[in-house]
Amino acid sequence: MDVLRLLTPERVRRYPLLLLVVTVGLYGVRLARSDHWIEPDGRIVGQDYFAFFMAGDRVARGQTSQLYDAAAQSEYQRSWMRDINPQWRGTCLYLNPPHYAWLLSWPARLGYGGSLLVWWAASLAAFGVTVRLWRSWLPPDAWRTAVLLAVCMPAWFAALAGGQNSFFSLLVLTGFCTLLMKGRDGWAGLVLSLLGFKFQLLLVPAGLLLWKRRWRALGGVALGGGLTLGLTVLTTGFDSLHAYLAFSGEIARLMHVDGFDVWKQHSWRGFFAMLGGEWYPSAWMTAAAVVACLASLAVLVRVWRGPWRPGSPAFALRLSALIMATLLTSPHLFHYDMLLAVLPVVLWAAAGEARCRSAFLAIAALGFAWLALGGPAGAMLRVQLSPLLMAGWLLLAERAARGPSDSVTRAECGNSEAAAAVSAS
């Protein structure tokens, strides 16, 4: 099958845009039927942000000792919701570090509605900065397609409507890649350290920097980490840091409570848990996920063998593989986190590599469709397709990264518009 003939740039733009219109229309109907920030199904508008608001409100009131008490979190939310939705029984757990709660305490002073509006505005601003960075990577006419398809991603709307922090994670990783491609390792490491609020996304990039002996970048990570620890102690005290570390050991258990459905996990952990979690021991599931993660990291090592040359198309392809491997091996990767999958596609389009283009395009298109239908389909079929697609992308990136010459410039990479047509799908 000729994938490039079937998935023309016009179709790649048109179908996701139709999906976006339908999604926004349906959500608009839900908002119109909402009462006092409560949607018709009983959930609060921006449900994921509710945990952030709770943490910020705790810090603003000087109640930092209750930040990482799961029972106290449940009681706070039931008490807060009692007057507007007495049937509320869920708990939106706050899992992020104390310094993040301190930052959230400032908008929390505006109340839930005001702080959510500020959060939405900040999220859109972060995405706007991300787009400006993409423009510096892509040919003049290609970045518009990338932006259109990114906005049409189901994960983009899920992150915005739910009040998640995926836009800030995307900005940090985009800034990290931009600075690495410019050869500014120290600043890249400092920017990467900002992912302390979502620590699982920091580990694989930091491990790569260590393996490649990028000492200035690691120094930036260490400096940023030290400043973050200092901010945490200064604003919330040693006790909150100790409580957070103790709470981190409970996260694996808390993932089994209501609201953390296995089918929402798009990494290897979710794949093996869903594939046979009901008929083999959980230890086997964990072992299978670990083996798959190690295999993925082995492919990543193959991708990054060779010299470190930031200005080459091969470097952008290697960064694409790095971000994809980071997602694939993450122990905590929900639907809204898949917004980050747009970054490997934009990096591939920036490289302009002609080989494997049809296969890359097919994987991106399948991934876009799965993210639109994967929730109910995964729950019904007991399979999570996303890890298989990401593994395929990683293998193709390994093959493609061996192709382009380090002396090839972006203008010579050929048919960049066709490559950019899949950006963010």
The DSSP secondary-structure symbol of 336 reads G
**b/e 37-46 (16+ beta carbons within 10 angstroms → b):** bbbeeebbbb
Residues 419, 233: Cα–Cα separation, whole Å: 47
How many of the other CB atoms lie within 10 Å of CB of 385? Answer: 19
Range of the domain at 220: 3-420
Rg of the chain (C-alpha set): 21
Residue 245's pLDDT is: 87
* pLDDT tens per residue across span 373-403: 766 677 677 788 899 999 999 998 888 877 6
How many independent structural domains does the chain possess? 1
Residue 425: inside a domain, yes or no? Answer: no
Higher-pLDDT residue of 154 and 44 is: 154
Task: Please tell me the number of Cα atoms within 13 Å of 100 on its side-chain side.
Answer: 21
Place of tokens 């090592």: 301
The angle at the Cα of 362, spanning 398 to 415, to the nearest 5 degrees, equals 75
* pLDDT tens per residue across span 5-29: 665 666 666 666 666 676 677 666 6
Residue 36: inside a domain, yes or no? Answer: yes
Residues 56, 319: Cα–Cα separation, whole Å: 34
Residue 124 has pLDDT above 90, yes or no: yes
Higher-pLDDT residue of 15 and 246 is: 246
